[in-house]
Chains A and B, each alone.
Chain A
Amino acid sequence: MSAWISSHVQACLRAFKRMLLAPMATLISTLVIGIAIMLPLGLYSLFSNITAAASRLNTEPNVNVYLQVLAKDEDAREIEKRLQAMTNVANVKFISRETALTEMKRVASVADLLNGLDNNPLPHAFTLRPRATDTATLEQMRKDIAALPKIDAVVMDFEWAKKLKRFATFAERLVMLLGAVLALAVVFVTGNTIRLQILTQKDEIEVSRLIGATKRFVRRPFLYFGVLQGALAGGVAVLAILALTWWAGKEVQALTISYGSDFQLQYATPEQIIGIIAIGAFLGWLGAYLSVSMYLRNSRTA
C-alpha cells in the first residue's frame, strides 16, 4: 500500500518536474486550454444573465389598440363588439380615455403638465389578449384590426421581449454546442501536448516496458500531467471569467441604474468555480489517457 502511494507521489512529482522543465510550453498550452474552457463558460454566463433579465420582462402577448382621439364612446362600443367577434381574440379590455387620464395623472412628473391642459389628449384604447402566438396569425390580426374604422394604431410591444427570450434559448443551445466542441478541443490540445512528451520519452517507455513496467505505470505520470495542466487551465478560466464579470458588471450597473432597475450580473459561485477546475482536470486527464493509450497500443512491446 505504501509502495502504491509512493509510486503515485513519484508520478505526480515527475509530472510537476516536466511542467517546470519547459515553463514556456506549459504556460502557452495552459493559456490555450484556459481560453478554450473560458469561452463557452463566459458566453454561458453572459446568456444566462440575459435570460435572467428577460424573465423579468412581461412576455405575455398583449395587443394595444388605440382609437383616434376624435372617436366617440359609441364608436368605441361598436369597435369592441367587432373585436370580440374576431376568432383569434381571447379577451378584450376597454380602457376609456378618462381612465387613461386618471392613470397617467398618478405619474407625478406628467401630472402638472396634464392638469394644465384644457381637454383630455388621450384616446380610447383596448387591450387584447390574442389566442394565437405565431407571427403570421398575429400579423394578420394586426392588419384586420387596423382596417377597422377610427383606429389610430395597433401596437404589439411584446414581440421584442419574446424574441429576446427565444434568442436566449437559442443562444443557450449554441453555447452548449460550442462547449462540447471546445471540450473536445481541450482533450485534443492536452492529448497533443502529451503525445509530444511521449515522443521525447519513447526510449524510456520502451526500456521500462521491457524490464517490467506495466502500462498503468507508464501512463501514470502523463495522467498526472494532464490533470495538473487541466486544473491550472480551469483556474485561468475562472480568473478570466471573474475579471470579465467585474469589468462588464460596472458597465451594466451604470446602464441599469439609468433605467431604474436593480438588475446585477451574477458572479460565479464557489461551487461553480470548483466545478470549472474539476472539468478542466477531467478533460486534461481524458486527453492524456487517450494519448498514452493510443501510443501504447501501437508500440510493439507486448
Chain B
Amino acid sequence: MITFSNTVKRYSNGFEALKGVTLTIEKGEMVAITGHSGAGKSTLLKLAAGIEAASKGSVLVNNQNLAQLKETGLGVLRRNLGLVFQDHKLLFDRNAFENVALPLSITGFPRADVGKRVRAALDKVGLLDREKANPITLSGGEQQRLCIARAIVNRPAILIADEPTGHLDQEYGARILDLFKSFNQVGVTVLLSTHDELNLTRLNCRRIHLNLGKVAA
C-alpha cells in the first residue's frame, strides 16, 4: 500500500533527513515508526502523505508514484488519507463539530448527511458531548482525539499519525494508541510514529526503527 524505494530526502538547507530508505507497508497493516528525535520519523510520514517530495528514490501510495502526481492528483490522494498532526492543527475560530466537518466540505460530501458522519466520528473518539465546544477549551488529550475524529471522518483507507501521543501522559497515550488499534482491526492501514516504547510493547504491532535517516536492522 505504501512503498519507499531508496528514498532520500534532503532539505534545502542541506540536511539529509532520510538517507535511502526502502520499506513496504502492506494493506491492513499497522506500523509504528520509532527512533530518536531527528531520526527522520516525521520526514518519512510527510513523504508518505505527499506533504514533502522525495529528493531521490520513490514513494508509492496505492501504486501511485507521488512524484508523478500533479497538484490536483495529490489533493485527491490526501482526501483519501487520514492525517493526524502532532500539533493537532485544529481551527480555533469554530467549534469541534465544524472542525471535524472541514474534510467533508472539501470532498463535497452531501450536506444532508454531514451531521450524521461528523457525530459518528466524534462518537468513535468519545467527544460526542463536546461537539459545541471550542477546541481551545479542550484538554491536550481531547484536542488530539478531535484531530483523530477529523482524520477519520472521510473513512480513509490509510491513517498517518505523527507522534499522536507526543504531548500526552502514559495512560492517555495508551488510550489513543488503543483507538488506532481499533481502526486497524476494521481494516484501516495505520502508519504512526512514536517514541512511547512502553505502550508499543503492549500494542504488539510491526515496528520500524529509524536511526540517522536509515532503517535500523
Return chain A residues, CB-CB under 8 Å to B209.
none
Assess whether A260 is interfacial by the CB under 8 Å rule.
no
Q: Scan A204-235; emit 1 where CB is below 8 A from any B CB, else 0.
A: 10111011111111000000000000000000
By the criterion CB–CB under 8 Å, are B50 and A207 in contact? no
By the criterion CB–CB under 8 Å, are B89 and A302 in contact? no
Q: Which of A246-302 contact B (CB under 8 A)?
A: 301-302
Return chain B residues, CB-CB under 8 Å to A7.
108
Return chain B residues, CB-CB under 8 Å to A216.
72
Return chain A residues, CB-CB under 8 Å to B103.
211-212
Assess whether B106 is interfacial by the CB under 8 Å rule.
yes
Assess whether B91 is interfacial by the CB under 8 Å rule.
yes
Assess whether A120 is interfacial by the CB under 8 Å rule.
no
Q: Which residue of A lies closest to B72 (CB)?
A: A214
Return chain A residues, CB-CB under 8 Å to B81.
212
Cα distance A204–B89 in the bound complex, in angstroms: 9
Assess whether A6 is interfacial by the CB under 8 Å rule.
yes
Name A212's contact: one of B53, B85, B91, B107 (CB within 8 Å).
B107
Instruction: State the interface size on chain B (CB cutoff 8 A).
Output: 28
By the criterion CB–CB under 8 Å, are B105 and A302 in contact? no
Assess whether A55 is interfacial by the CB under 8 Å rule.
no
Task: Tell me whether A206 and B102 are in contact in the complex, defined as CB-CB below 8 angstroms, given that A212-B75, A214-B72 are known contacts.
Answer: no
Assess whether A3 is interfacial by the CB under 8 Å rule.
yes
Assess whether A84 is interfacial by the CB under 8 Å rule.
no
Return chain B residues, CB-CB under 8 Å to A206.
89
By the criterion CB–CB under 8 Å, are B79 and A211 in contact? yes
Q: How far in angstroms is the closest Cβ of chain A from B176?
A: 19
By the criterion CB–CB under 8 Å, are B91 and A3 in contact? no
Counting chain A residues whose Cβ lies within 8 A of the other chain, the interface size class is: 20 to 34
Assess whether B78 is interfacial by the CB under 8 Å rule.
yes
By the criterion CB–CB under 8 Å, are B79 and A212 in contact? yes
Q: Which residue of A lies closest to B53 (CB)?
A: A302
Q: Which residue of B lies closest to A211 (CB)?
A: B103
Q: How far in angstroms is the closest Cβ of chain B from A219?
A: 12
Number of CB contacts from chain A to chain B under 8 A: 56
By the criterion CB–CB under 8 Å, are B108 and A207 in contact? no
Name B77's contact: one of A6, A212, A213, A215 (CB within 8 Å).
A212
Assess whether A134 is interfacial by the CB under 8 Å rule.
no
Assess whether A10 is interfacial by the CB under 8 Å rule.
yes
By the criterion CB–CB under 8 Å, are A302 and B79 in contact? no
Cα distance A162–B105 in the bound complex, in angstroms: 65
Q: Which of B47-105 contact A (CB under 8 A)?
A: 50-53, 71-72, 74-81, 83, 85, 89, 91-93, 102-103, 105
Name B51's contact: one of A213, A217, A301 (CB within 8 Å).
A301
Return chain B residues, CB-CB under 8 Å to A74.
none
What is the interface of chain A mostly: helix, strand, loop, or mixed? helix
Q: How far in angstroms is the closest Cβ of chain A from B75?
A: 4
Q: Which residue of B lies closest to A10 (CB)?
A: B105
Q: How far in angstroms is the closest Cβ of chain B from A196?
A: 15
By the criterion CB–CB under 8 Å, are A214 and B75 in contact? yes
Name A207's contact: one of B74, B76, B102, B111 (CB within 8 Å).
B102
Cα distance A10–B111 in the bound complex, in angstroms: 10
- A7, A207, A301 interface centre (most CB from chain B within 10 Å): A207
Cα distance A21–B114 in the bound complex, in angstroms: 24
By the criterion CB–CB under 8 Å, are B108 and A6 in contact? yes
Assess whether A118 is interfacial by the CB under 8 Å rule.
no
Q: Which residue of B lies closest to A217 (CB)?
A: B106
Task: Tell me whether A213 and B75 are in contact in the complex, defined as CB-CB below 8 angstroms, given that A203-B91, A207-B102, A208-B102 are known contacts.
Answer: yes
Q: Which residue of B lies closest to A203 (CB)?
A: B91
- B51, B75, B80, B89 interface centre (most CB from chain A within 10 Å): B75
Cα distance A85–B144 in the bound complex, in angstroms: 103
Task: Tell me whether A3 and B89 are in contact in the complex, defined as CB-CB below 8 angstroms, given that A210-B51, A211-B102, A302-B51 are known contacts.
Answer: no
Return chain B residues, CB-CB under 8 Å to A6.
108, 111
Cα distance A301–B85 in the bound complex, in angstroms: 14
Q: Which residue of A lies closest to B111 (CB)?
A: A6
- Report 24 cross-chain contacts, Cβ distance below 8 Å, ordered by A residue: A3-B108, A6-B108, A7-B108, A10-B105, A203-B93, A204-B91, A204-B93, A206-B89, A210-B78, A210-B85, A211-B78, A211-B79, A211-B83, A212-B78, A212-B81, A212-B103, A212-B107, A213-B75, A214-B71, A215-B71, A217-B106, A302-B50, A302-B51, A302-B53
The 10 closest A-B pairs by CB, nearest first: A212-B79, A212-B78, A3-B108, A214-B75, A213-B106, A212-B75, A207-B89, A211-B103, A7-B108, A214-B72
Report B's interface with A, CB cutoff 8 A: 50-53, 71-72, 74-81, 83, 85, 89, 91-93, 102-103, 105-108, 111, 150
Report A's interface with B, CB cutoff 8 A: 3-4, 6-7, 10, 203-204, 206-208, 210-217, 301-302
